[in-house]
Structure 1
Amino acid sequence: MRSSSGYIFVLIWVQSQVAQAYTTFEPECTTPKEAVSFVSSPPTRGTLDILWSSLFTIFACTWTILHLNIPKQRDTQDPGRLGDLKWGVKAIWGKAKWMLMAIMAPEYLLYNAAGRLSYAWEWHLKLKVWADADDIPWTLAHTTFASMSGFVVRGGSSRVGKEPPVPGIPATPINLQVNDPTPVSAADNEWYFLDPDMILRLRSERHIILPFISKSEIDDHSKGDLFTKGIAASQIIWTIASTITRAIRGLAISQLEISVIAFSLCALLIYICYWSSPKDVSVPITFLHWEGPIPPTITRVITEAIERRNSGLTNESLKVENGQTPFSNDFEYSSTTFKSTLPLILVFGALLFGAPHLLAWNSTFPTPVERIIWRVASLNCSSLGLVLYLTDELFNSLRTHISRSRRKRLETTLNFVQLAVVACYVLARLFLIVETFRTILFLPPSAYIATWTSSVPMFG
């Protein structure tokens, strides 16, 4: 009986502490006593105003900004409504996991986007030469579409496309035996993805001529036009302008809004990298058709390109299967031209995302301990890329001057250090995420004063 009374006392005490910590304020705004032509917005903003506008901007920075590769094709797999549900869930989960990655490490998405852009630009310069020779349009959107696995070659299909003749070049592919007696696959309908390397080799070795595919056709496959990208970018710019306005007026800025600024800065650069890239394309464009099986000369080029990209894998894992996407979304796009620059993008991205959190150095926190942890976590996120880059450069400079046995120990030490740095980064990011939402209940009064940006028609 005595223990029950003790439990009741503890529950009453906890409830009293929660009630004391959680308080509310209901603003009262008068209404006009008679009809007027214009009523201005109230000079205040509520907790939910801060929350919803921030959440929408984070959504724009992590979901709408994703430009993923063509997914694995369903074709005739899983027929029926259950199949529709399965592939629908698979498509949503494919984007959701990358959204989680964007929330945890947006600097990695910036690094990935910069790598994709440099990769596409390097191959675009090579492909444009052959496109001009074939007198067909070829833009950066074509190359980025190819790097997203947007083009396929098909065989055994009744839907055979007829390419327009190109002056000076035969109307049929050169060295191409459509009725080759040794087909690679027995499939009635085989189709394989192409990447820029494969397209360049097929054309430079004169196996094909480049088909006429307009940029409008690629844009038609994209579900993110310039207007959609502009709306998302406008929301991000509005958030940055709102925060700058509050800082100029000396008004308190919530930690959530500061975190949104960090997301916004990364997102704007990612949008720039993806500006020419199609978005949310689910079905590839047929690059070339053959009435019979795809000739071995074509599949040989495809297989050899995959072997160069995945050197060291077994022959079985190199097998090209129908519906298999050559490039996964986490493929590390590399560029020989910008090879030394890309690691610095990761350093810059980590600094770009972590540094804005330092703006809350002297902000209001529920406890002094949380303020100290916030400072440490912000410094950790800002310096992650630099620490990883310097340790890697140090190892590369030392490996040529030490013996093989010591090199192995040094490599083990380096891996341990980098793993520890990444683990600390993950813990720091988790704390910042939790704390940004926790501190929204402990804001000073000036945080609820609205500015002119609240009158601008934006989402949230």
Structure 2
Amino acid sequence: MQSAKSEAGPIPASIELRDVASCDNQNSQRTLAGIVWSCISTIFLCTWVAVHPNVHFKPEKQNQSRIEKWLWDPLHEFVTYKLPLFLWALLVPEYILAWAVRQYVQAAVISKRVPGWTRTHGHFMIMGGFHLFRLPAKAPSAPIPREFSKSSDFVAPSGRHSRCDEVPVCPLKFEDVPVDILEIIAPTETELKDRGKSDVLTKLIVLVQTLWFVAQCTARRTQRLPLTEIEVVTLAYATLNLFVYVFWWDKPRDVECPIRVYKMSTTTHEESGEKAEEWGQNLPFPWMEKIIAYTVGLQDNSVTLSKNCSIPMFWSGRVNSNLLFVAGLGPSVLGTAFGAIHCLAWGSEFPSHLELILWRVSCVAMIAVPFIVAILCAVKVLDEQTVEVLPVWLSVVVITCAGLTLLSAWLYIASRIATLLIAFTALRSLPPLALTTVNWTTLLPHV
């Protein structure tokens, strides 16, 4: 008696391969550790590697012990500078994007004022790449020549002296150094990029990793497979990170040593440009003015660089008010989209009803707060472009948005913390389909 298989004839090879692929896809499951690792690594790329900090200048110390040099100083640098910057990028990533956009805009403005400069030069100038030093009293020097025989307070060392005796003064902004002197002392674009700690290949690797994560999440939605809450949070970071990288592409990363610009020990330094504003002049309490100023990027107007030993963390230069609010409008809209991405988990299966309510309330807050800032920036752009006085109702909108910004600033940060915590606590109870892998053969038939 012949078997049923022999009676039916041989099974086509295409059917066998399809059945094997289908069985492999059903049997392949994601692990919880794999999900967590993929998300944490992507978030790390978005909040640590993607951030291009300003130059954090630290005067060199002589005769340091090994413990102080290799342990205490790096730990102090991490706690006082890198960790706060990481927390800003983790809790308020839209602000990092707005900071990148402001520097991108101001770098373009500066690069057009100096012949031969590129946007990389503009970024380097803004990020504190030029620092004023005073030469020792007996150090020989020669004044740097200027066009049309103008006098110059800036000098170049012309003899032997110990660089350890040079005294750091303050970071320099663009207005502090004449253009013809900048043409002499500024490095080339290749030299500036050499000072950075990352190259084009490194940035491309980060972008590919980010895009691959976005592609995976998109594929899961296409095949109606649920995303875990931590994947939704990571997807929001990855989407925003793409724009951050675009605006900081030409900015050197992790530059630690600025270029030294010299003056004689007997020469005084007077900061150029408009005098810095004092806090508390426009609102009853300085903290209220600081919240609004930092939200829209006006905090640089209250900074006196000549009184600082290093460039401020979020310094972008004193951007023209019209360009400032234009630069803040786009990131605010993208910030609203950042909050909206979290709504992908609106109908997810949460372990408890309380977590579901907190997630939804946090999503609404993360959408509403950036949207309020976007309205405020849009009205201010309209105000800057019109000569006439704003209508009463638009003035009411500005005051209302400013008031809501003061009231909702802490609500936004609380919502960010809540979504991050819930994203991890929800991992204790995942639906079965959340561990199912994507069937790439359905999306890409040739795979």
The residue that corresponds to 1:90 in the other structure is 76
SS of 1:152 mapped into structure 2:
strand
Asked if the contact 1:238/1:453 (under 8 Å) is kept, the reply is no
After superposition, the C-alpha distances for 1:98-118 in whole angstroms (9 at most, x for unaligned) are 111111111111111111111
Alignment partners' CA distance in 2, 1:178 and 1:372: 62
Q: For the Cα contact (< 8 Å) 2:175–2:272, is it kept in 1?
A: no
Between the aligned partners of 2:422 and 2:111, the Cα distance in structure 1 is: 44
Residues 231-278 of structure 1, C-alpha deviations (whole Å, 9 max, x = no match): 111111111001011111111211111110100111110000100000
In the TM superposition, 1:309-328 aligns within 5 A as 310-312=276-278, 320=306, 324-325=309-310, 327-328=311-312
Q: 2:345 aligns with which of 329, 347, 360?
A: 360
Would the aligned equivalents of 1:178 and 1:293 in 2 still touch at CA under 8 Å? no
Deviation of 1:342 after TM superposition, in Å, equals 2.4
Q: Give the corresponding residue for 2:211.
A: 237
CA separation of 1:443 and 1:224: change in aligned 2, threshold 3 A: same
CA shift in 2, pair 1:415/1:348, >3 Å: closer
Q: Distance in 1 between matches of 2:182 and 2:253?
A: 28
SS of 1:341's partner is helix
2-side partners of 1:178 and 1:373: how far apart? Answer: 59
CA RMSD of aligned residues (A): 3.6
Partner letter of residue 166 of structure 2?
N
Q: Distance in 2 between matches of 1:414 and 1:140?
A: 34
SS in 2 for 1:138: coil
Identity %: 22
Partner of 2:226: 252
Identify the residue that residue 429 of structure 2 maps to in structure 1: 442
Are residues 1:193 and 2:161 paired?
no
**Does the 8 A contact of 1:245 with 1:451 survive in 2?**
yes
Q: Is the 8 A contact 2:127 2:316 kept in 1?
A: no
Aligned AA for 1:423?
W
Residue in 2 that maps onto 1:139: 118
User: Could you say which residue in structure 1 is the equivalent of 2:300?
Assistant: none
C-alpha deviation, 1:90, in angstroms: 2.5
Q: Contact (CA 8 Å) 1:67, 1:279: kept in 2 or not?
A: yes
Question: Partner of 2:313 in structure 1?
Answer: 329
* Cα distance in 1 between the residues matched to 2:142 and 2:30: 59
Whether 1:379 aligns to 2:364 is yes
What is the distance in 2 between the residues matched to 1:148 and 1:77?
26
Q: Provide the TM-score with structure 1 as the length reference.
A: 0.71
Between 443-452 and 108-117, report the one with greater CA deviation. 443-452
Gap change, CA 1:392 and 1:339, over 3 Å in 2: closer
1:81-101 deviation digits (Å, cap 9, x = unpaired): 343233211322211111111
Q: Which runs of 5+ in 1 are unaligned?
A: 1-39, 132-136, 180-186, 455-460
**Letter in structure 2 aligned against 1:67:** H
Aligned residues: 371
Q: Secondary structure at the match of 1:362?
A: coil
CA separation of 1:344/1:274 partners in 2, compared to 1, >3 Å: closer, same or farther? Answer: same
Question: What's 2:325 paired with?
Answer: 340
Instruction: Tell me which residue corresponds to 1:103.
Output: 90
Aligned twin of 2:21: none
SS in 2 for 1:279: coil
Q: CA deviation at 1:383?
A: 1.7
TM-score, normalised via structure 2 length: 0.73
Query: Is residue 174–residue 208 contact of structure 1 (8 Å, CA) maintained in 2?
Result: no
Query: Which shows bigger deviation, 334-343 or 388-397?
Result: 388-397
**Deviation of the 1:334 alpha carbon:** 4.7
AA matched with 2:86? M
The residue matched to 2:323 in structure 1 has which SS? coil
Give unmatched runs, 5+ long, in structure 2. Answer: 1-23, 156-163, 280-302, 384-388, 442-447
Contact 2:220 2:226 in 1 (8 A): yes
Partner SS for 1:343: helix
Alpha-carbon shift at residue 66 of structure 1 (Å): 1.4
**1:262 equivalenced with 2:236 (yes/no):** yes
- Between the aligned partners of 1:70 and 1:427, the Cα distance in structure 2 is 30
